[in-house]
Amino acid sequence: MSHDFTQDPQHTPDAEQISDDRSPAYDYAYQDAYEQHYEENRNGGLDPSFVFDFTAYDEVDGTSQRWSTWLDVEPLCRGPEPRPDWVVTSQGAIDTDLGILKTGKEADVFLVERADPADPDGGVIMAAKRYRSSEHRTFHRAASYTEGRSTKRSRDERALKRKSTWGKIVASGEWAISEWDALKRFHALGLPVPYPVQIDGTEILMEWITVDGETAPRLAQTRPEPDLLASYFDQLRSALAVMVQNGVVHGDLSAYNILAAGERLVIIDLPQIIDIAGNLAGMDFLMRDCTNVCTWFRARGLDVDEHDLFGELMAHAF
């Protein structure tokens, strides 16, 4: 054809003009389609296939907000499936820091809201555990906990042993990865731990455990009635049994690393979990966990003994 009709919608060709070298059936179909296009444009209409809806998002406040990192991390750095329906996966979601929840020797925990402005009712508040940078953290009993673990590179192993600057950087990431793996593993075993949402570098986003909309208290802060106290101990005994059946020990269990979420307990702070077989002090850590737990419950009036608990757990371990 000698004329580009699409560039001149005001010009409507006749059939002879467009049928010099095409079949009549093609010519008529083309002319019908063109005339329809011409009528739509003549009346100011648009082809529906070129029209779509969109929502413009405002820029985030860089001081306390960021775009969701959900799609920025690798798939294996996201929580296990099936995921709870409260997990926000929208690419348009914004993470907003709501303030610090807890400070610790190795990490700080913040509250972070993740919500899509287009769906404000679908937002969620999570706990963000951020391991400190090398210049602000310590190797608190690190060697005894990490015995039996291995890193992928011998250079990193040597740096960890020397406690060099690079070793501290490696250790920071190692603790975060260790806790992430523990959360996923324990969640898969059905243990009472926060659901792990994602890990990004040295930050872990996880379920925020609440009671009546407020952060659940640590077990050490509670004074449960006798029946609830006995229930709490049974829950812990069952959880410890599952752990040792799977060859691991919490390693730092106490009333300060357990949340009382109403009638159920939730175990937290898991970066130091111990492999019973791989760590020569594995049994010692288990005995210490039993002692810490039983001492607290006994002080609240429950007749329990750490040696009995340890023996019972050993029966599950082997």
Residue 179 pLDDT > 60, yes or no?
yes
Strands (E), the chain: 65-67, 94-103, 107-116, 119-131, 196-200, 203-207, 210-211, 214-215, 248-249, 258-261, 264-267, 274-275
Residue 222 banded pLDDT, cuts 50, 70, 90: very high
Is residue 242's pLDDT more than 50? Answer: yes
Label residue 151 by pLDDT band (50, 70, 90). very low
CATH 1.10.510.10 domain extents, the chain? 216-317
Whole-number Å distance between alpha carbons of 162 and 181: 25
Is 50 exceeded by the pLDDT of residue 139? Answer: no
The mean per-residue pLDDT over the stretch 111-127 comes to 94
**304 close to 234: Cβ distance less than 8 angstroms:** no
Instruction: Name the average pLDDT for the chain.
Output: 83
Domain with CATH 3.30.200.20 in the chain: 65-207
User: Per-residue pLDDT for 30 more than 90?
Assistant: no
Say yes or no to pLDDT of 1 above 80.
no
**DSSP structure string for 93-125:** -EEEEEEEEEE-SSEEEEEEEEEETTEEEEEEE
* 149 CB burial (10 A radius; 0-12, 13-18, 19+): middle
What is the predicted pLDDT for the residue at 34? 64
Predicted pLDDT of residue 85? 95
* Cα–Cα distance measured from residue 156 to residue 158, given in angstroms and rounded to the nearest whole number: 5
Please write the tens of the pLDDT for every residue from 55-94.
Answer: 666 677 778 999 999 999 999 999 999 999 999 999 899 9
Is 169:263 a contact under the CB 8 Å cutoff? no
pLDDT at 6: 47
CATH number of the 65-207 domain = 3.30.200.20
Q: Which residue has the higher pLDDT, 158 or 273?
A: 273
pLDDT at residue 175, as a whole number:
87
Identify the pLDDT of residue 15: 47
Over 90: is that where the pLDDT of 142 sits? no
Which CATH number does 216-317 carry? 1.10.510.10
Chain-centroid distance, C-alpha 300? 35
Q: What is the pLDDT of residue 148?
A: 52
Q: What is the pTM of this model?
A: 0.75
Can you tell me the mean pLDDT for 124-129? 98
- Does 215 or 104 have the greater pLDDT score? 215
Strand partners, 103: 108
